[in-house]
Amino acid sequence: MFPRDRVISSLTKYSIPFDNGATDDQLRTVLAEFYAKRTLTHQPIDPQDCAAAILFLAGPQSRCTTDI
Put residue 15 in one of left, alpha, beta given phi > 0 → left and psi -120 to 50 → alpha: left
DSSP 39-58: SSS-S---HHHHHHHHHHHH
Walking along the chain (68 residues) 10 residues at a time, the average pLDDT comes out as 92 97 96 93 89 91 75
CB 27 within 8 Å of CB 4:
yes
pLDDT of 2: 84
pLDDT of 46: 84
pLDDT of 65: 74
- Does the pTM surpass 0.75? The reply is no
Is residue 27 exposed (0-12), middle (13-18) or buried (19+ Cβ within 10 Å)? Answer: buried
Q: What whole-number distance in Å separates Cα of residue 3 and Cα of residue 17?
A: 18
pLDDT of 68: 60
